[in-house]
Amino acid sequence: MADNQNHPFNRDVIAHDRIKQLERHLSIQEKEDISKHHQKKIIEELLFLKSRNSYFSSSTDSFPSIALHSISDDDFNRLKYLLRSVVWPIDHHIREQLWISILTLYRISSLKENPHVAQTSQTVMTSSAMIDTNFGSLSLKYEHWPNFVDTTHLCFYYLTERKGQSLVHGILLTFSSCHPDVTYCPILQPVAALLLHYHNEYEVSYLLNRLLIKSWLCGETRLQWEAHCNVFRKLLKHYYKSAVDVINSRYKNVNGFYHDWLWWIFHYLPFSYLVQFIISLGFHISSFFGTKILFRISLALARVFTKNIRRESDGTIHNITDFCRHIPISIDHLLSIAFRIRNFKRRTVEHLIEQEEKLLRSTRHQLHTDNANENHHADTTHEMISDRPPPPPSITPQHLTQIPQESILSQRQFLTLWNWLPARLSLSQPAVVFTTDEHGFRLQTLLNKVDELEYSILVVKTTNGEIFGAFCAGLWSDRHNRTYFGCGESFLFTLIPKQKKYAWVGQQQQHENNRQNQVKREMFLFVDADKLIIGGGNGDGLCIDQSLCEGQTAHCETFDNEPLCSQPFFSISVVEMITFDYSAS
């Protein structure tokens, strides 16, 4: 825990010599003692600081009760102004409690509560009691980072390698296991590392979950992240057109420049700047939109950077990363530029992000186009090793006029599937209702999307590039009433490396009198909290676990199939659920 007597830092994860470096670094900025300001008492009262202690002292805590303090709009705005008016030293004692204090404020107007209610109490569902193992041990067990982390921009600041960095790893692995639907959120790693400078690992875990509840933090999927990058580009063009002209003339990889906008703040700015910005970010998160302040700061950085380029004569400013590392203006000056941007409204930014997400879904960004090209190439490569040449198609490309661009399947693969379907369904157009690329890796999310569907196609792509799946005939909501459900129109299939359909064996073996064998041949669909199974009887034809990350395949009596891929246990790259659209037919 942080040492209250000397500094607010978590000495368990920051080496003593690093603390000395931090203290020496403070000499380059103006240190203001908040105790000398007449606002000190007001700030403490508004943040309830005197009543707060560490909430998570160890992993043995039971569910602690966190005081959630309500605050009026007037007091909230007053507090925001007071905290912005002071450039807080990074070693000020108030930082120990500042973030938890901010993230447990609730504005009365948003809650519509009685203004006389001073505070409420809530049991934290993401407390240390939900953590089954030590963070450090978890980090040692799994070497990889969660998928939502951008491993090209890992930020650790002053954390020790052995314990501090290991704890960040463990915290994020725990977060990933609790939130499998968060598939890409690059800001979480640097924020976790930053908070660990002032809080223990259990407090950091709590704070990350509060961030997820209160704000999107630049999205939870790669598509949402791409939308934020595109919106930043549009905002810069709108507010600082001359800056865009300089960037276009100086950078060959303009897209790369705009995709790095978040890392100008979290990876390249001095630590003291970043810590101060996080206060402002916290207040915008309390207002349920933390992205706005990040946009403001990056817009200000781009403006100052391009103005300096136009003024330079010796060419010393090579790129924006070097500029941020050696930024020539003070923290308060940069914040002043950021907050002077006029008519920068939350609703406008939200609308732009929403429009970009819609556009990306309709066109599907480069990633999905690359997947489709890859699959088409694999299709051609493996065509010769099919069990037998496919029959001449009765469904032609002229029938399938609306191939979903977000799908991992090529048009050729859709044609193959549509020729295997019951005739009445083959007249429809395919529509993707679920994909892990957009909706995350969580079985319950998939089931929510298909609950009222009677016919659907499950498609799986493994990390080895193999593609297979199942046509599922049966109302998914029947899973609540029956162990196995569905009907004999269901079938399993493989597309890569070979194309083959495995139909229900019952149609060929109706004369079977053995009731036990008959039951095994009618195990079409099964779902519980842990897995989804298609095909049973002496083995599961296709089984996917609740995380949608791992699966297995084997011969089953329902479809008399071979294993659907080269390995009985496989890791999943993408899962899709496709349904049938008759409106465009």
Instruction: Check the CA dihedral 139-144-145-151 and report its sign.
Output: positive
Query: Side by side, which strands form the sheet with 119-123?
Result: 105-107, 65-71, 119-123
pLDDT digits (tens, 9 = 90+) for 252-285: 888 889 999 999 999 999 988 887 776 555 444 4
Judge if the upstream peptide bond of residue 8 is cis by omega within 30 degrees of 0: no
Q: Does residue 501 lie within any of the structural domains? A: yes
pLDDT digits (tens, 9 = 90+) for 34-60: 444 445 555 555 555 445 444 444 444
SS3 216: coil
Q: Does residue 464 lie within any of the structural domains? A: yes
CA-wise closest residue to 102 among 128, 126, 125, 69 = 69
pLDDT digits (tens, 9 = 90+) for 303-347: 999 998 888 765 667 789 999 999 999 888 998 899 899 888 888
For residue 512, give Cα distances in angstroms to 386, 484, 490: 31, 20, 20
Percent of the chain clearing pLDDT 70 (strictly above): 62
Q: What is the pLDDT of residue 378?
A: 53
pLDDT digits (tens, 9 = 90+) for 479-519: 887 788 899 899 999 999 999 999 998 755 555 555 455 55
Tokens, residue 361: 């879904």
Alpha helices in 129-198 (DSSP H): 135-141, 164-178, 188-196
Q: Does residue 75 lie within any of the structural domains? A: yes
Identity of the amino acid at 445: T
Q: How far apart are CA 457 and CA 94, in angstroms?
A: 55
Q: Does residue 153 lie within any of the structural domains? A: no
Q: What is the pLDDT of residue 16?
A: 56
Q: What is the pLDDT of residue 142?
A: 55
Tokens, residue 379: 């299709």
8 Å CB contact between 559 and 491: yes
CA-wise closest residue to 534 among 448, 463, 459, 461 = 459
- Alpha carbon 380 to chain centroid distance? 34
Q: What is the pLDDT of residue 479?
A: 86
Q: How far apart are CA 552 and CA 286, in angstroms?
A: 44
Instruction: Check the CA dihedral 397-403-405-411 and report its sign.
Output: negative
- Strand runs (DSSP E) across 268-356, as ranges? none
Q: Which residue has the higher pLDDT, 191 or 133?
A: 191
Q: How many domains does the chain have?
A: 2
Query: pLDDT band for position 90 (50/70/90)?
Result: low
Percent of the chain clearing pLDDT 90 (strictly above): 30
Alpha helices in 26-69 (DSSP H): 40-47
pLDDT digits (tens, 9 = 90+) for 432-444: 999 998 888 889 8
Q: What is the DSSP letter of 54?
A: -
The domain in which residue 102 lies consists of: 33-49+66-124
Q: What is the pLDDT of residue 169?
A: 92
Q: Does residue 200 lie within any of the structural domains? A: no
Q: How far apart are CA 299 and CA 265, in angstroms?
A: 11
- Alpha carbon 57 to chain centroid distance? 28
The answer, yes or no, to whether residue 181 has pLDDT greater than 70, is yes
Last residue of a domain, one of 74, 91, 124: 124
The answer, yes or no, to whether residue 114 has pLDDT greater than 50, is no
The torsion region of residue 404 among left (phi > 0), alpha (psi -120 to 50) and beta comes to beta
8 Å CB contact between 206 and 56: yes
Q: Does residue 326 lie within any of the structural domains? A: no
Last residue of a domain, one of 102, 124, 146: 124
Q: What is the pLDDT of residue 365?
A: 39
For residue 361, give Cα distances in angstroms to 227, 365, 366: 10, 8, 11
Q: What are the DSSP calls for 374-425, one per residue?
A: HHHHHHHHHGGGSSSPPPPPSS-TTT-----TTSS--HHHHHHHHHHS-TTT
Q: Does residue 243 lie within any of the structural domains? A: no
Q: What is the pLDDT of residue 35?
A: 43
What is the maximum alpha-carbon separation in the chain?
92
Q: What are the DSSP calls for 222-277, one per residue?
A: HHHHHHHHHHHHHHHHHH-HHHHHHHHHH-S-HHHHHHTHHHIIIIIS-HHHHHHH
Q: Does residue 565 lie within any of the structural domains? A: yes
